């Protein structure tokens, strides 16, 4: 079993308004500052400002920040209950979840569904008590509420030992000690690197990419977003796309991307554990696997048709 110590993949779970956008924005800005390479740092920050100017949503579905030579992929989760396994599929791309909770408001029912799924899939949680600068913030009580919620949702013993980071996304700081003033977001990034498991698997076996999300772009059209589950994929590689109905199709990966800041950047290759985007495959669908031609092994498609809305509250 190989391990990618230079990658972490997390999903962020947050109730609307609890500060997800502000927090991720701060991580992006500060990871640019922490970076040794000034030129790259400037580029990340410039593009961020540009994005802001254009009025585009700051937090896209996929974001990546570099910290201490580790790429942290941050995947957004739908903030609502779903049908058909959308949440499960997104969670399959990650090894841990960051649960963001407002230090004043506490846990909100709308995040229960996604959290329950994450715990059920055995994902490692990292709890961020956010907006600790708010007057009336009650971080200790909110941690207790999170613990109660985890127990209620059937968290296992490991998950109940969840690490906690206290943060003010707005103030741009985080700390693991609620009594201590933070100065920057490093304690949160350190906690992600320390607590969230690095991707594990087979780095040298035949390539296998599971697509869990679809995006669109005016220039390149349909984009499949997924995780390399085995081996390596290359730009220009011929692969076999396994459709959900059991049929297969020989296709070529004409554009391969990874995420950097808020953007997709073209890359020549990606390896086990990387979250990638692929364009140029017209009829690519969610839940499909691209395989090296010498080993056509589709991964199971997660389809859950239970009536999930009743589980929200």
Instruction: Confirm or reject binding of residue 26 to ligand GDP (CB under 6 A).
Output: no
Instruction: Confirm or reject binding of residue 134 to ligand GDP (CB under 6 A).
Output: yes
CB of 152 to ligand GDP, least distance (A): 23
For ligand GDP, the closer of residues 43 and 134 by Cβ is: 134
Instruction: Confirm or reject binding of residue 118 to ligand GDP (CB under 6 A).
Output: no
From the list 9, 11, 12, 18, which residue makes contact with ligand GDP (rule: CB under 6 A)?
Answer: 18
For ligand GDP, the closer of residues 138 and 222 by Cβ is: 138
Instruction: Confirm or reject binding of residue 19 to ligand GDP (CB under 6 A).
Output: yes
Using the contact rule CB under 6 A, the part of the chain among 66-74, 82-90, 126-134, 303-311 near ligand GDP is 126-134
Cα 306 from Cα 303, distance rounded (Å)? 9
For ligand GDP, the closer of residues 73 and 168 by Cβ is: 168
Q: Which of 252, 246, 245 is nearest to 292 (CA)?
A: 252
Instruction: Confirm or reject binding of residue 133 to ligand GDP (CB under 6 A).
Output: yes
For ligand GDP, the closer of residues 135 and 179 by Cβ is: 135
From the list 30, 77, 130, 289, which residue makes contact with ligand GDP (rule: CB under 6 A)?
Answer: 130
């Amino acid at each position: 079993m190989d391990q990618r110590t230079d990658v972490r993949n997390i999903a962020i779970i947050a109730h609307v308004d609890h500060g997800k956008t502000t927090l991720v924005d701060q991580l992006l800005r500060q990871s640019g500052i922490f970076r040794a390479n000034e030129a790259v740092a400037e580029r990340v920050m410039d593009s961020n400002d540009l994005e802001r100017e254009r009025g585009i949503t700051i937090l896209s579905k996929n974001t990546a920040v570099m910290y201490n030579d580790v790429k942290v992929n941050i995947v957004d989760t739908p903030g609502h209950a779903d049908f058909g396994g959308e949440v499960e599929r997104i969670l399959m791309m990650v090894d841990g979840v960051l649960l963001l909770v407002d230090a004043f408001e506490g846990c909100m029912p709308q995040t229960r569904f996604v959290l329950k799924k994450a715990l059920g899939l055995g994902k490692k949680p990292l709890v961020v008590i956010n907006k600790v600068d708010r007057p009336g913030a009650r971080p200790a009580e909110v941690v207790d509420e999170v613990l109660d919620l985890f127990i209620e949702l059937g968290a296992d013993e490991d998950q109940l030992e969840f690490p906690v980071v206290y943060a003010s996304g707005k103030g741009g700081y985080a700390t693991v000690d609620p009594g201590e003033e933070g100065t920057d977001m490093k304690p949160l990034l350190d906690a992600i690197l320390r607590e969230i498991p690095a991707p594990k698997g087979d780095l040298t076996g035949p390539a296998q990419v599971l697509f869990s999300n679809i995006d669109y772009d005016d220039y390149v059209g349909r984009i499949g977003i997924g995780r390399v589950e085995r081996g390596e994929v290359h730009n220009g590689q011929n692969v076999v796309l396994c459709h959900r109905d059991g049929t297969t199709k020989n296709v070529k990966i004409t554009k391969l991307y990874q995420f950097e800041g808020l953007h997709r950047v073209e890359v020549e290759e990606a390896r086990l554990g990387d979250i990638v985007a692929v364009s140029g495959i017209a009829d690519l669908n969610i839940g499909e696997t691209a395989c090296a031609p010498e080993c056509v092994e589709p991964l199971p498609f997660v389809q859950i048709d239970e009536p999930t809305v009743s589980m929200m509250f």
